[in-house]
Amino acid sequence: KRPAGAPDRSLARPVTKVGIVGAGLMASQLALLFVRRLEVPVVLTDLDQERVDKGVGYVHAEIDKLLAKGRINADKANRHKALVTGAVDKSDVFADADFVIEAVFEEMSVKKSVFADVEKVVSPECILATNTSSLSITEMAADLEHPERVVGFHFFNPVAVMPLLEIVKGERTDDATLATAFATGKALKKTTILVNDSPSFIVNRLLGRFMGEVGKIVDEGTPVPVVDGAFAGVAPMPPFVLLSLVGPAIALHNNETLHGAFPDRFYVSPALERVVAARKASYYGPDGALDPE
Ligand code: CAA
Protein backbone atom coordinates (compact mmCIF):
# COMPACT_ATOMS: atom_id res chain seq x y z
CA LYS A 1 0.00 0.00 0.00
CA ARG A 2 1.26 3.46 -0.92
CA PRO A 3 2.00 5.63 2.17
CA ALA A 4 -0.35 8.63 2.51
CA GLY A 5 0.87 11.51 0.36
CA ALA A 6 3.48 9.46 -1.54
CA PRO A 7 3.47 10.07 -5.32
CA ASP A 8 3.18 7.20 -7.83
CA ARG A 9 6.14 4.87 -7.45
CA SER A 10 6.74 4.88 -11.21
CA LEU A 11 8.14 8.42 -10.80
CA ALA A 12 10.99 7.18 -8.58
CA ARG A 13 14.50 7.32 -10.02
CA PRO A 14 17.06 4.56 -9.39
CA VAL A 15 19.67 5.06 -6.68
CA THR A 16 22.98 3.57 -7.82
CA LYS A 17 25.46 5.55 -5.72
CA VAL A 18 25.03 7.36 -2.40
CA GLY A 19 27.03 10.30 -1.09
CA ILE A 20 26.98 11.18 2.60
CA VAL A 21 28.11 14.57 3.88
CA GLY A 22 29.44 14.20 7.39
CA ALA A 23 31.06 11.18 8.96
CA GLY A 24 29.89 11.60 12.55
CA LEU A 25 27.41 9.73 14.75
CA MET A 26 24.38 9.84 12.43
CA ALA A 27 26.27 9.91 9.13
CA SER A 28 28.24 6.73 9.79
CA GLN A 29 25.11 4.90 10.99
CA LEU A 30 23.42 6.01 7.75
CA ALA A 31 26.35 4.70 5.68
CA LEU A 32 25.98 1.30 7.35
CA LEU A 33 22.23 1.19 6.67
CA PHE A 34 22.54 2.30 3.02
CA VAL A 35 25.28 -0.17 2.17
CA ARG A 36 23.51 -3.10 3.84
CA ARG A 37 20.10 -2.44 2.30
CA LEU A 38 20.89 -0.91 -1.11
CA GLU A 39 24.22 -2.68 -1.79
CA VAL A 40 25.50 0.26 -3.85
CA PRO A 41 28.70 2.35 -3.45
CA VAL A 42 28.46 4.71 -0.46
CA VAL A 43 30.96 7.55 -0.02
CA LEU A 44 31.37 9.35 3.30
CA THR A 45 32.86 12.84 3.23
CA ASP A 46 33.92 15.22 5.99
CA LEU A 47 36.16 18.20 6.66
CA ASP A 48 39.37 16.23 7.21
CA GLN A 49 40.81 12.78 6.61
CA GLU A 50 40.78 11.89 10.31
CA ARG A 51 36.99 12.26 10.56
CA VAL A 52 36.49 10.43 7.27
CA ASP A 53 38.69 7.52 8.42
CA LYS A 54 36.81 7.37 11.73
CA GLY A 55 33.44 7.17 9.94
CA VAL A 56 34.57 4.49 7.47
CA GLY A 57 36.25 2.62 10.35
CA TYR A 58 32.96 2.60 12.29
CA VAL A 59 31.08 1.07 9.33
CA HIS A 60 33.76 -1.58 8.75
CA ALA A 61 33.81 -2.46 12.47
CA GLU A 62 29.99 -2.80 12.56
CA ILE A 63 30.09 -5.08 9.51
CA ASP A 64 32.76 -7.19 11.26
CA LYS A 65 30.46 -7.44 14.31
CA LEU A 66 27.59 -8.69 12.11
CA LEU A 67 29.97 -11.27 10.61
CA ALA A 68 31.14 -12.39 14.07
CA LYS A 69 27.50 -12.78 15.18
CA GLY A 70 26.85 -14.97 12.10
CA ARG A 71 24.28 -12.47 10.76
CA ILE A 72 26.08 -12.17 7.41
CA ASN A 73 28.65 -14.39 5.68
CA ALA A 74 32.24 -13.45 4.84
CA ASP A 75 31.45 -12.81 1.16
CA LYS A 76 28.77 -10.30 2.01
CA ALA A 77 30.91 -8.65 4.71
CA ASN A 78 33.77 -8.15 2.26
CA ARG A 79 31.47 -6.91 -0.49
CA HIS A 80 29.80 -4.39 1.81
CA LYS A 81 33.09 -3.19 3.27
CA ALA A 82 34.50 -2.61 -0.22
CA LEU A 83 31.43 -0.55 -1.16
CA VAL A 84 32.02 1.98 1.66
CA THR A 85 34.75 4.52 1.00
CA GLY A 86 35.59 8.00 2.20
CA ALA A 87 36.98 11.24 0.80
CA VAL A 88 37.60 14.82 1.86
CA ASP A 89 37.16 16.29 -1.62
CA LYS A 90 33.59 15.71 -2.83
CA SER A 91 34.05 16.79 -6.43
CA ASP A 92 35.13 13.48 -7.99
CA VAL A 93 33.33 11.07 -5.69
CA PHE A 94 29.93 12.81 -5.84
CA ALA A 95 29.96 13.43 -9.64
CA ASP A 96 28.07 10.19 -10.39
CA ALA A 97 26.01 9.99 -7.15
CA ASP A 98 22.25 10.07 -7.57
CA PHE A 99 21.36 10.41 -3.88
CA VAL A 100 23.31 12.63 -1.46
CA ILE A 101 22.29 12.94 2.18
CA GLU A 102 23.75 15.42 4.63
CA ALA A 103 24.07 14.74 8.35
CA VAL A 104 26.26 17.63 9.47
CA PHE A 105 25.93 20.09 12.37
CA GLU A 106 22.31 21.11 13.05
CA GLU A 107 22.58 24.76 11.95
CA MET A 108 20.73 26.26 8.98
CA SER A 109 23.70 28.26 7.62
CA VAL A 110 25.97 25.19 7.74
CA LYS A 111 23.42 22.99 5.98
CA LYS A 112 22.77 25.65 3.31
CA SER A 113 26.45 26.02 2.55
CA VAL A 114 26.86 22.22 2.37
CA PHE A 115 24.06 21.97 -0.20
CA ALA A 116 25.44 24.93 -2.19
CA ASP A 117 28.82 23.14 -2.34
CA VAL A 118 27.30 19.79 -3.25
CA GLU A 119 25.17 21.33 -5.99
CA LYS A 120 28.35 22.46 -7.78
CA VAL A 121 29.56 18.87 -8.22
CA VAL A 122 26.47 16.67 -8.66
CA SER A 123 24.15 16.18 -11.65
CA PRO A 124 20.96 18.35 -11.75
CA GLU A 125 18.81 15.28 -10.99
CA CYS A 126 20.79 14.08 -7.97
CA ILE A 127 18.53 14.06 -4.88
CA LEU A 128 19.72 16.24 -1.99
CA ALA A 129 18.34 14.77 1.22
CA THR A 130 18.80 16.19 4.69
CA ASN A 131 18.70 14.32 7.97
CA THR A 132 17.79 17.51 9.82
CA SER A 133 15.66 16.81 12.86
CA SER A 134 14.08 20.25 13.18
CA LEU A 135 15.00 22.75 10.44
CA SER A 136 12.90 23.96 7.47
CA ILE A 137 13.43 22.05 4.21
CA THR A 138 11.95 24.95 2.21
CA GLU A 139 14.45 27.41 3.68
CA MET A 140 17.37 24.99 3.24
CA ALA A 141 16.56 24.68 -0.48
CA ALA A 142 15.70 28.34 -1.10
CA ASP A 143 19.00 29.54 -2.63
CA LEU A 144 19.77 26.45 -4.71
CA GLU A 145 19.61 26.23 -8.48
CA HIS A 146 17.44 23.09 -8.21
CA PRO A 147 15.39 23.35 -5.00
CA GLU A 148 12.96 20.76 -6.39
CA ARG A 149 15.42 17.94 -5.58
CA VAL A 150 15.67 18.72 -1.87
CA VAL A 151 13.80 16.50 0.59
CA GLY A 152 13.86 15.82 4.34
CA PHE A 153 14.90 12.28 5.25
CA HIS A 154 14.87 12.11 9.03
CA PHE A 155 16.12 8.97 10.82
CA PHE A 156 16.12 8.14 14.52
CA ASN A 157 18.83 6.91 16.82
CA PRO A 158 19.92 4.08 16.77
CA VAL A 159 19.40 4.09 12.99
CA ALA A 160 19.80 0.31 12.67
CA VAL A 161 16.86 -0.46 14.94
CA MET A 162 14.44 2.48 14.93
CA PRO A 163 11.82 1.67 12.28
CA LEU A 164 10.54 5.15 11.42
CA LEU A 165 11.68 7.52 8.67
CA GLU A 166 10.05 10.96 8.45
CA ILE A 167 9.99 12.23 4.85
CA VAL A 168 9.59 15.98 4.56
CA LYS A 169 8.35 17.77 1.45
CA GLY A 170 9.53 21.35 1.08
CA GLU A 171 7.40 23.90 -0.80
CA ARG A 172 9.30 23.24 -4.02
CA THR A 173 10.11 19.52 -3.69
CA ASP A 174 8.87 17.79 -6.87
CA ASP A 175 7.08 14.45 -7.22
CA ALA A 176 10.06 12.60 -8.71
CA THR A 177 12.16 13.56 -5.67
CA LEU A 178 9.43 12.58 -3.25
CA ALA A 179 8.76 9.29 -5.05
CA THR A 180 12.51 8.49 -4.98
CA ALA A 181 12.61 9.30 -1.26
CA PHE A 182 9.71 6.93 -0.52
CA ALA A 183 11.14 4.15 -2.73
CA THR A 184 14.55 4.52 -1.06
CA GLY A 185 12.99 4.49 2.42
CA LYS A 186 11.19 1.28 1.53
CA ALA A 187 14.40 -0.29 0.19
CA LEU A 188 16.04 0.66 3.51
CA LYS A 189 13.20 -1.28 5.19
CA LYS A 190 11.94 1.72 7.13
CA THR A 191 8.34 2.73 7.78
CA THR A 192 7.96 5.96 5.81
CA ILE A 193 5.57 8.77 6.64
CA LEU A 194 5.10 12.14 4.97
CA VAL A 195 5.28 14.99 7.48
CA ASN A 196 4.73 18.74 7.15
CA ASP A 197 7.71 21.05 6.86
CA SER A 198 7.11 22.55 10.31
CA PRO A 199 9.61 22.91 13.19
CA SER A 200 10.83 19.48 14.39
CA PHE A 201 8.23 17.66 12.23
CA ILE A 202 6.20 15.15 14.30
CA VAL A 203 8.38 12.93 16.50
CA ASN A 204 10.78 15.57 17.78
CA ARG A 205 7.93 18.01 18.37
CA LEU A 206 6.28 15.45 20.65
CA LEU A 207 9.62 14.55 22.24
CA GLY A 208 10.34 18.27 22.72
CA ARG A 209 7.21 18.64 24.87
CA PHE A 210 8.21 15.58 26.89
CA MET A 211 11.86 16.61 27.30
CA GLY A 212 10.79 20.14 28.26
CA GLU A 213 8.75 18.74 31.16
CA VAL A 214 11.62 16.43 32.14
CA GLY A 215 13.99 19.43 32.20
CA LYS A 216 11.48 21.38 34.29
CA ILE A 217 11.24 18.59 36.88
CA VAL A 218 15.05 18.66 37.22
CA ASP A 219 15.08 22.47 37.38
CA GLU A 220 12.57 22.19 40.25
CA GLY A 221 15.10 20.12 42.20
CA THR A 222 14.51 16.42 41.48
CA PRO A 223 17.82 14.59 40.85
CA VAL A 224 18.38 13.11 37.39
CA PRO A 225 18.54 9.46 38.58
CA VAL A 226 15.18 9.86 40.33
CA VAL A 227 13.59 11.12 37.10
CA ASP A 228 15.18 8.26 35.14
CA GLY A 229 14.14 5.76 37.83
CA ALA A 230 10.54 6.92 37.54
CA PHE A 231 10.52 5.62 33.97
CA ALA A 232 11.77 2.10 34.72
CA GLY A 233 9.43 -0.21 32.86
CA VAL A 234 7.42 2.68 31.44
CA ALA A 235 9.57 3.73 28.45
CA PRO A 236 12.18 1.71 26.50
CA MET A 237 14.82 4.18 27.65
CA PRO A 238 14.79 6.55 30.65
CA PRO A 239 14.78 10.21 29.53
CA PHE A 240 18.38 11.07 30.41
CA VAL A 241 19.71 7.86 28.84
CA LEU A 242 17.81 8.83 25.69
CA LEU A 243 19.17 12.39 25.89
CA SER A 244 22.72 11.01 26.11
CA LEU A 245 22.09 8.70 23.13
CA VAL A 246 20.74 11.53 20.98
CA GLY A 247 23.39 13.98 22.23
CA PRO A 248 22.73 16.85 24.66
CA ALA A 249 23.44 19.55 22.06
CA ILE A 250 20.97 18.09 19.54
CA ALA A 251 18.29 17.69 22.20
CA LEU A 252 18.78 21.28 23.40
CA HIS A 253 18.77 22.59 19.83
CA ASN A 254 15.45 20.83 19.26
CA ASN A 255 13.83 22.55 22.22
CA GLU A 256 15.32 25.92 21.25
CA THR A 257 13.90 25.58 17.72
CA LEU A 258 10.49 24.65 19.09
CA HIS A 259 10.57 27.42 21.70
CA GLY A 260 11.40 29.90 18.92
CA ALA A 261 8.39 28.73 16.90
CA PHE A 262 5.91 28.17 19.75
CA PRO A 263 7.22 30.13 22.79
CA ASP A 264 4.16 29.48 24.94
CA ARG A 265 4.36 25.69 24.60
CA PHE A 266 8.06 24.72 24.71
CA TYR A 267 10.45 25.05 27.59
CA VAL A 268 14.24 25.40 27.39
CA SER A 269 15.77 24.08 30.61
CA PRO A 270 18.65 26.17 32.08
CA ALA A 271 20.02 22.96 33.61
CA LEU A 272 20.25 21.31 30.18
CA GLU A 273 21.83 24.49 28.78
CA ARG A 274 24.55 24.20 31.44
CA VAL A 275 25.26 20.59 30.48
CA VAL A 276 25.61 21.54 26.81
CA ALA A 277 27.72 24.62 27.58
CA ALA A 278 30.12 22.39 29.52
CA ARG A 279 30.21 19.96 26.55
CA LYS A 280 29.21 17.07 28.78
CA ALA A 281 28.05 13.80 27.25
CA SER A 282 26.42 12.57 30.46
CA TYR A 283 23.91 14.06 32.84
CA TYR A 284 25.09 12.36 36.01
CA GLY A 285 27.24 14.21 38.53
CA PRO A 286 29.08 12.63 41.46
CA ASP A 287 26.12 13.04 43.83
CA GLY A 288 23.45 12.18 41.31
CA ALA A 289 22.70 15.82 40.63
CA LEU A 290 22.78 17.14 37.13
CA ASP A 291 26.38 17.44 35.97
CA PRO A 292 27.76 20.08 36.08
CA GLU A 293 26.13 21.98 38.91
N1 CAA B 1 23.15 0.44 17.38
C2 CAA B 1 22.78 -0.66 16.70
N3 CAA B 1 21.97 -1.60 17.19
C4 CAA B 1 21.52 -1.44 18.44
C5 CAA B 1 21.88 -0.34 19.24
C6 CAA B 1 22.73 0.63 18.67
N7 CAA B 1 23.11 1.73 19.34
N8 CAA B 1 21.29 -0.46 20.46
C9 CAA B 1 20.59 -1.62 20.42
N10 CAA B 1 20.73 -2.20 19.22
C11 CAA B 1 20.12 -3.44 18.75
C12 CAA B 1 20.68 -4.63 19.48
O13 CAA B 1 21.85 -5.10 18.83
C14 CAA B 1 19.54 -5.61 19.38
O15 CAA B 1 19.53 -6.23 18.10
P16 CAA B 1 19.36 -7.81 17.93
O17 CAA B 1 18.07 -8.14 18.66
O18 CAA B 1 19.24 -7.99 16.47
O19 CAA B 1 20.58 -8.41 18.54
C20 CAA B 1 18.28 -4.74 19.46
O21 CAA B 1 18.72 -3.42 19.09
C22 CAA B 1 17.65 -4.69 20.84
O23 CAA B 1 18.67 -4.29 21.73
P24 CAA B 1 18.73 -4.68 23.27
O25 CAA B 1 17.92 -5.92 23.48
O26 CAA B 1 20.14 -4.66 23.72
O27 CAA B 1 18.14 -3.44 24.01
P28 CAA B 1 16.67 -2.91 24.20
O29 CAA B 1 15.63 -3.94 24.16
O30 CAA B 1 16.81 -2.05 25.38
O31 CAA B 1 16.42 -1.94 22.93
C32 CAA B 1 16.55 0.18 21.91
C33 CAA B 1 17.32 -0.95 22.56
C34 CAA B 1 15.78 -0.36 20.70
C35 CAA B 1 17.56 1.22 21.46
C36 CAA B 1 15.51 0.74 22.95
O37 CAA B 1 16.18 1.07 24.14
C38 CAA B 1 14.76 1.95 22.47
O39 CAA B 1 13.81 1.86 21.69
N40 CAA B 1 15.17 3.15 22.96
C41 CAA B 1 14.51 4.42 22.56
C42 CAA B 1 15.22 4.98 21.38
C43 CAA B 1 14.53 6.21 20.84
O44 CAA B 1 13.50 6.65 21.32
N45 CAA B 1 15.13 6.80 19.80
C46 CAA B 1 14.64 8.02 19.22
C47 CAA B 1 15.48 9.12 19.72
S48 CAA B 1 14.99 10.66 19.03
C49 CAA B 1 15.92 10.81 17.67
O50 CAA B 1 16.78 10.08 17.33
C51 CAA B 1 15.51 11.95 16.82
C52 CAA B 1 16.47 13.04 16.66
O53 CAA B 1 16.49 13.57 15.59
C54 CAA B 1 17.27 13.57 17.76
Note the pLDDT of residue 273. 86
Q: Is residue 286 part of a domain?
A: no
Residue 250 beta carbon below 6 angstroms from any ligand 1 atom:
yes
201: left (phi over 0), alpha (psi -120 to 50) or beta: left
Domain containing residue 218: CATH number: 1.10.1040
In this predicted model, what pLDDT tens digit does every residue of 174-186 receive, in sequence order? Answer: 999 999 999 999 9
Over 80: is that where the pLDDT of 251 sits?
Answer: yes
- Residues 125, 270, single domain; the answer is no
Residue 158 beta carbon below 6 angstroms from any ligand 1 atom:
yes
What are the start-end ranges of the E strands in the chain?
Answer: 18-21, 42-45, 84-87, 99-102, 127-130, 150-154, 164-169, 191-195
Q: Using the 3D structure, point to which of 163, 195, 227 is the last residue of a domain.
A: 195
Note the pLDDT of residue 293. 42
Ligand 1 centroid – CA 231 distance (Å): 16
Domains: count for the chain: 2
Over 80: is that where the pLDDT of 288 sits?
Answer: no
By mean pLDDT, which of 57-71, 166-180, 211-225 is the weakest?
211-225
Q: What is the pTM of this model?
A: 0.94
- Residues 124, 155, single domain; the answer is yes
Residue 201 beta carbon below 6 angstroms from any ligand 1 atom:
no
Q: How many CA atoms lie within 13 A of 143 on its CB side?
A: 12
Q: Is residue 292 part of a domain?
A: no
- Residues 101, 145, single domain; the answer is yes
* DSSP conformation class of 148: G
Tell me the mean pLDDT in the region 250-262: 94
Candidate list 60, 154, 253, 259, residue with the active-site label: 154
Q: Is residue 246 part of a domain?
A: yes
Over 90: is that where the pLDDT of 200 sits?
Answer: yes
- Examine the residue annotation and report whether 259 is marked as an active-site residue of this protein: no
Please answer whether residues 88 and 52 qualify as being in contact, where contact means their C-beta atoms are separated by less than 8 angstroms: yes
Over 90: is that where the pLDDT of 290 sits?
Answer: no
Over 60: is that where the pLDDT of 291 sits?
Answer: no
Q: Is residue 125 part of a domain?
A: yes
Q: Using the 3D structure, point to which of 177, 195, 213 is the last residue of a domain.
A: 195
Answer with the residue of higher pLDDT: 280 or 288: 280
In this predicted model, what pLDDT tens digit does every residue of 221-236 receive, in sequence order? Answer: 988 889 999 998 888 9
- For 265, list phi and psi in degrees, rounded to 5: -115, -10
Closest residue by CA, ligand 1 atom 19: 69
Over 80: is that where the pLDDT of 193 sits?
Answer: yes
- Residues 165, 67, single domain; the answer is yes
Give residue 239's domain range: 204-277
Residue 229 beta carbon below 6 angstroms from any ligand 1 atom:
no
Tell me the mean pLDDT in the region 85-107: 95
